Structure 1
Amino acid sequence: MPPTPLTGPELGQALEQAEATHLSLQVAAYTRLSGRSESRVIAMSGGVAAITEAAFGRKLNHVTGLGMGVPVFSDELAELEKIYAALGLDTQVDICPHAHGSALAVLAERDYRVNAFSNTYARYLPPEEVFAAPRDGIEIITDRAIVEPIFVEQSVAGFSVQAVSRPVILLETLARIALQRSDTLLFAARCDGSLAGTAGMSLIETGAGLVAHLYIASTLPAQRGRGIQLALLNARLAAARSAGCVLACVTARPANTSARNTERAGFGLAYTKSTFVRRCDA
């Protein structure tokens, strides 16, 4: 039987489930790290809402998976808006095009506006596929005893130069969260003997089977343009298949470098999500 099409609603359900689980695990790990019991995840209308600290912005304070397989209700969103407003945050909701038809109607009714898009990429992991080895001079390290001590510092350094800068406290927290998660495999890359990049991959059970969620990949600014990210992508795909994953997924903003590297590694665009925002002073 051929694999389910990347653009099908069944696959969309599995990918959104993986994304919602990933966000939930991030919040759970942060709660363990910080001891802040007020950090939590709220299940709502097929998705989840992450609530942590205002300093982390939308990254750890947004809704994903809303309306996947179930209707969306206005009163549920209204209560969530109060929680985010108390933190001084807008309510931000990522909507999959396969969401229940009520989602768009409720968001329009409550004066939400689209302010961004993100692409969800996926690829199957057939048993016969051979993943490309790193080019000469690049070494991929998977030994956690080696990667773990340098992961936070190297991850933050890799994300330090971006088109849209993020607070250092957020970058450090995201890296520490990855270290905390037992479902996450860690990777590092050396180029000509020098550390060049880091990445993570979580293994998440979904209705479609075990899915590899690739995330927190960065390259040190001085090492960019040398194939580091493509090598980390291929290494993670090989590890995902060895772990029994049937599918891998990754999220990237349209037309950025991560999106291009993802496509070079054989991923296809499953769908584009819209981020709907309601201002906290609306």
Structure 2
Amino acid sequence: MREFGGGAVCFAGVGSPLNKVVGVGFGGVPSVGEWEEVERACAEVGVAVQVELSQLADPRIGEMLTGRGYRLVSFENVLGVELGGRRWEVPEGVEVRRDEDEDLGVWLDVVVDGFAHPDDEGVPSHEEFPREAIAAVMRDMASTNDTRRYVAYRNGEPAGGASMRTGGGIAALAGAATLPAHRRNGVQTAMLSTRLTEAAAEGCDLAVITTQPGSKSQRNAQGRGFSLLYTRAVLVKEV
């Protein structure tokens, strides 16, 4: 990972979901030469250049990228909710527990299985990844000391998993997935409610989450009080 245009260029291995340019446009507009350098580096390792471009970034970047052959493939919504010491109720029939298991077993299995079988309701994701790539990302994420892991149980069985990181008064909710057999039964809502209540109790002011526009995840978040903060365009160039 290296700094780039106020954001960063990230590479975590061929096939990783983390290979992308993020946060660009908040620290100046990268030059043509700087984009060419990123494109050459990606070509050398055989991955496409994927840019997550916020609507709040310098608008000249979008024009530059489309002129360089980048194509729009998707959008992502970043939503937020003020916490203010509130509590959120967990739906009946679902229990959410913190996962402290050092081998990540149950949490990793349920999250990887959930992401490997995307929910087909709403706008489909523009990308899919093999189980091995998803598992590698989740292990890396869980290895950071400030990542908290959660497992949801329904009828006594693991039904979903999620994570949360807090810092600077902000709770970042991520990594939420539900097994197909347990979808539409309040599992996502339970995991959201548990994390929000925990973050509020610890003094966080704001919680944020990223969703696909129109997805079930977005509707669940809005049902818990989230509203849109900004949208990111996802642009890709094969190199």
Q: Give TM-score scaled by structure 2 length.
A: 0.90
1:218 paired with 2:177, answer yes
C-alpha separation between the residues in 2 aligned to 1:243 and 1:75? 45
Give the 5 Å matches for 1:85-100.
85-100=43-58
Matched ranges for 1:97-112 at <5 A: 97-112=55-70
CA distance in 2, matches of 1:76, 1:172: 32
Q: Is 1:55 paired with 2:18? A: no
Matched, 1:131 2:94: no
The answer on 1:257 being equivalent to 2:216 is yes
Aligned: 1:153 with 2:116: no
Unpaired stretches in structure 1, ≥5 consecutive residues? 1-40
Tell me the amino acid that sits aligned with residue 266 of structure 1: G
Structure 1 residue 243: Cα displacement? 3.0
More helix by share: 1
Cα drift, residue 60 of structure 1: 1.1
Aligned-partner Cα distance in 2 for 1:259–1:171: 21
- Identity over aligned residues, as a percent? 30
Instruction: Give how far 1:74 is off.
Output: 1.8
Residue 117 (str. 1) matches residue 75 (str. 2): yes
Corresponding residue number in structure 1 for 2:143? 180
Other structure's SS at 1:60 match: coil
Bigger drift between 236-245 and 157-166 goes to 157-166
Higher relative contact order (CA 8 A, sep 6+): 2
- 1:60 alignment partner AA: L
Corresponding residue SS for 1:166: coil
TM superposition score normalised by structure 1: 0.77
Q: Do the aligned residues in 1 keep the contact of 2:11 with 2:20 (CA within 8 Å)?
A: yes
* Inter-partner Cα distance in structure 1 for 2:99 and 2:88: 19
Contact 1:52/1:60, CA 8 A, preserved across alignment: yes
1:167 aligns with 2:167: no
Partner of 1:229: 188
Q: CA deviation at 1:265?
A: 1.4
User: Given the alignment of the two structures, is residue 279 of structure 1 paired with residue 238 of structure 2, yes or no?
Assistant: yes
Alignment partners' CA distance in 2, 1:262 and 1:237: 11
Query: Residue by residue, what CA displacement relative to the aligned partner does 1:121-146 show, whole Å, maximum 9, x if unpaired?
Result: 1111112x2212x2222111015249
In structure 2, C-alpha distance between the alignment counterparts of 1:117 and 1:50, rounded to whole Å: 19
Relative to structure 1, is the Cα distance of residues 273 and 143 closer, same or farther in structure 2, using a 3 angstrom cutoff? closer
Q: Which residue of 2 aligns with 1:79?
A: 37
Which residue identity lines up with residue 50 of structure 1 in the other structure?
C
Report which stretch shifted further, 45-54 or 144-153: 144-153
Q: Distance in 1 between matches of 2:187 and 2:236?
A: 35
How big is each residue's C-alpha offset from its partner over 1:4-62, in whole Å with a ceiling of 9 and x where there is no partner? xxxxxxxxxxxxxxxxxxxxxxxxxxxxxxxxxxxxx0100100111121222xx2110
Q: Flag structure 2 segments of 5+ consecutive residues without an equivalent.
A: none
Partners of 1:197 and 1:218 within 8 A in 2 = yes
Could you say what the CA RMSD is over the residues aligned between the two structures, in angstroms? 1.8
Q: Quote how far apart the aligned CAs of 1:64 are.
A: 0.8
Q: Is the 8 A contact 1:147 1:187 kept in 2?
A: no
Kindly indicate whether the alpha-carbon contact (under 8 Å) linking 2:18 and 2:137 is maintained by their aligned counterparts in 1: no
Task: Report if the CA contact (8 A) 2:50-2:234 is conserved.
Answer: yes
Partners of 2:204 and 2:29 in 1: CA distance: 30
**Does the residue aligned with 1:126 lie in a helix, a strand or coil?**
coil
Secondary structure (helix, strand or coil) at the match of 2:9 reads strand
Q: Residue 210 of structure 1: CA displacement?
A: 2.5
